[in-house]
């Protein structure tokens, strides 16, 4: 009896194209029902999104914080001739509290960007408004045309998600940018920079962690059925301008790359045990050390640029040293429970509402005031299914891994208070 060869050990890969299908470009065009943009830049940066919404004849939901002021968005919308619904994220307190957020709340890995919350609000509005085909778009995207979107939307009859090729500045983590900038091979993957999804996908969610869109693409154990069609361009940014960016990304980048390594090896998210994460984190540490060793040889980079990259890599390394296999295991256990929490919550929402009615149901005031330019620190409201103003103490059982692969159910006590939530600016 022949013994099948052992599977290759899961490891970080520079490319994930094997997880995607590339069907022929659709010959017919299909209308979409709405666009969701989480915005943090000045309202003038939304002109491409507004022009696209006007051309597609669909509403544009703009979720505002940081430098995006709702008043600027309204003024730009009048000039563009687009139907735009700007939302001040400071007025949003009704999204369900998730275990993954609570797990990181008192750790150095607490995610301080509100982009996942914006994307989740977009899912809720799309669900309530009955949007069947939704375009997720970032506020720094350009060169995306109506024809490209409508042909890609046709493929949603066959796929859960249709992403597009980014032919602009690569959308990678800082560490992955460093791989490319030191001469290594490094690709990109589809994401919410420009991505179409079906109404059924709104039962998935964006966790509050870097690479949240990769987790949105996952079912409980494997990747959803994803295709690529069309192209867009992302505006250039400097990944090394502030080394703290690399440190903030490291936990989410390790998680996402680890999960994708499992899937590419023919495994599932449930196969990410203590042994796997121990090896994966050690491999990640070797990648970063190798990049630091390569940097002095990169004479095509200025000395100042090499210093910037080195500072970012050292920040990533410092963050990586604080990540444990147990934390990775526990996070994925919490994420699987969160999928149920999110699904139950969003399916409890009423359907057949207009966008304004959906926002009102979620407690967002009509004509919400302009954002004052403060970055938002996400601190969510109470547990799913509770009415604001009511209190509940919730004890959730999560499988927690001890250091020797012993899995025990542990009571994770979360005292959740549903109601008004104070939001503090980022420190």
**Is residue 391 over pLDDT 50?**
no
Alpha carbon distance, N-terminus to C-terminus of the chain? 63
Partner residues linked to 393 by β-bridges = 415
Q: How far is CA 152 from CA 149, 169, 237, 266, in A?
A: 5, 21, 27, 28
Query: In which band, very low, low, confident or very high, does the pLDDT at 388 lie, cut at 50, 70 and 90?
Result: very low
From 89-98, 342-351, 381-390, the region with the lowest mean pLDDT:
381-390
Residue 194 parent element (H or E): strand 194-198
With bands split at pLDDT 50, 70 and 90, how would you rate the model's confidence at 2? low
In this prediction, residue 71 has a pLDDT band, given cuts at 50, 70 and 90, of confident
**pLDDT (0 to 100) of residue 252:** 98
Q: Is the pLDDT of residue 425 over 80?
A: no
The DSSP code for 5 is: P
User: Residue 367 has what pLDDT?
Assistant: 53
Least confident of 52-56, 57-61, 304-308, 383-387: 383-387
Per-residue pLDDT at 325 exceeds 80: yes
pLDDT the model gives residue 366: 58
Does the structure show a pLDDT above 50 at 403?
A: no
Considering the chain, what percentage of its residues have pLDDT values greater than 70?
Answer: 83
So what's the pLDDT on residue 11? 86
pLDDT tens, residue by residue, 133-167: 999 999 999 999 999 999 999 999 999 999 999 99
Q: Which alpha helices (H) appear in 130-243, and where do they start and end?
A: 146-154, 174-181, 212-216
* Residue the block writes with tokens 């940081």: 66
More confident residue, 280 or 14: 280
Q: What is the pLDDT of residue 280?
A: 97
Q: What is the pLDDT of residues 168-203, one digit of tens each?
A: 999 999 999 999 999 999 999 999 999 999 999 999
The three-class DSSP label of residue 114 is coil
- Residue 139: per-residue pLDDT: 95
- Overall average pLDDT of the 242-246 stretch: 97
Q: Are 322 and 254 in contact (CB under 8 A)?
A: no
**At residue 386, does pLDDT exceed 60?**
no
Average pLDDT of the segment spanning 352-377: 68
The pLDDT assigned to 75 comes to 87
**Mean pLDDT estimate for the chain:** 86
CB neighbour list of residue 212: distance below 8 Å, 6 or more residues apart: 115, 116, 119, 192, 206, 252
Inform me whether the pLDDT recorded for 374 exceeds 80. Answer: no
Over 70: is that where the pLDDT of 402 sits? no
Does the pLDDT at position 100 exceed 80?
A: yes
Crossing angle of helices 244-264/303-320, nearest 10°?
60
Predicted pLDDT at 91? 87
Share of the chain above pLDDT 90, in %: 77
Residue ranges covered by each domain of the chain: 17-238, 256-326
pLDDT tens-digit series, residues 201-240:
999 999 999 999 999 999 988 999 999 999 999 999 999 9
Per-residue buried b or exposed e for 57-83, using 16+ beta carbons within 10 Å of the residue's own CB: ebbbbbbbbbbbbbebbbebbeebebb
CATH architecture of 17-238: Alpha-Beta Complex (3.90)
What pTM was estimated for this model as a whole? 0.85
């Amino acid at each position: 009896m022949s013994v099948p060869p052992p599977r290759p050990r899961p490891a970080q890969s520079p490319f994930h194209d094997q997880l995607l299908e590339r069907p022929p470009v659709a010959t017919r065009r299909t209308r979409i029902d709405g666009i969701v943009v989480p915005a943090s830049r000045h309202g003038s940066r939304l002109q491409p999104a507004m022009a696209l919404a006007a051309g597609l004849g669909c509403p544009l939901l703009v979720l505002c914080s940081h430098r995006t002021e709702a008043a600027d968005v309204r003024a730009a919308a009048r000039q563009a001739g687009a139907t735009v619904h700007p939302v001040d994220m400071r007025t949003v307190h009704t999204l369900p509290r998730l275990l993954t957020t609570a797990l990181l709340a008192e750790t150095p890995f607490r995610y301080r960007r509100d982009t996942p919350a914006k994307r989740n609000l977009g899912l809720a509005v799309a669900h309530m408004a009955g949007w069947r085909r939704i375009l997720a778009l970032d506020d720094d995207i350009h060169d995306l045309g109506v024809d490209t979107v409508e042909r890609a939307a046709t493929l949603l009859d066959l796929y859960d998600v249709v992403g597009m090729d980014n032919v602009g500045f690569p959308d990678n983590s800082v560490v992955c940018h460093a791989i490319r900038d030191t001469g290594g091979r490094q690709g990109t993957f589809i994401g919410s920079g420009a991505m179409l999804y079906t109404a059924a996908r709104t039962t998935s969610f964006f966790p509050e962690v870097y690479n949240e869109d990769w987790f949105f693409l996952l079912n409980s154990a494997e990747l959803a059925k994803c295709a690529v069609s069309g192209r867009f361009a992302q505006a250039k940014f400097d990944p090394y301008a502030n080394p703290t960016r690399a440190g903030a990304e490291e936990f989410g980048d390790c998680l996402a790359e680890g999960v994708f390594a499992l899937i590419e090896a023919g495994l599932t998210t449930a196969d990410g045990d203590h042994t796997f994460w121990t090896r994966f984190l050690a491999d990640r540490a070797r990648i970063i050390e190798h990049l630091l060793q390569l940097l002095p040889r990169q004479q095509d980079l200025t000395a100042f640029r090499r210093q910037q990259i080195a500072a970012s890599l050292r920040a990533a390394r410092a963050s990586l040293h604080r990540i444990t296999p147990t934390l990775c295991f526990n996070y994925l256990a919490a994420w699987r429970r969160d999928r149920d929490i999110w699904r139950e919550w969003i399916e409890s929402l009423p359907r057949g509402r207009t966008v304004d009615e959906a926002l009102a149901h979620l407690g967002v005031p009509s004509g919400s005031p302009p954002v004052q330019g403060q970055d938002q620190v996400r601190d969510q409201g109470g547990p799913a299914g509770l009415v604001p103003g009511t209190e509940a103490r919730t004890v959730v059982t999560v499988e927690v891994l001890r250091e020797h692969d012993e899995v025990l159910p542990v009571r994770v006590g979360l005292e959740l208070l549903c109601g008004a939530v104070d939001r503090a600016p980022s420190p």
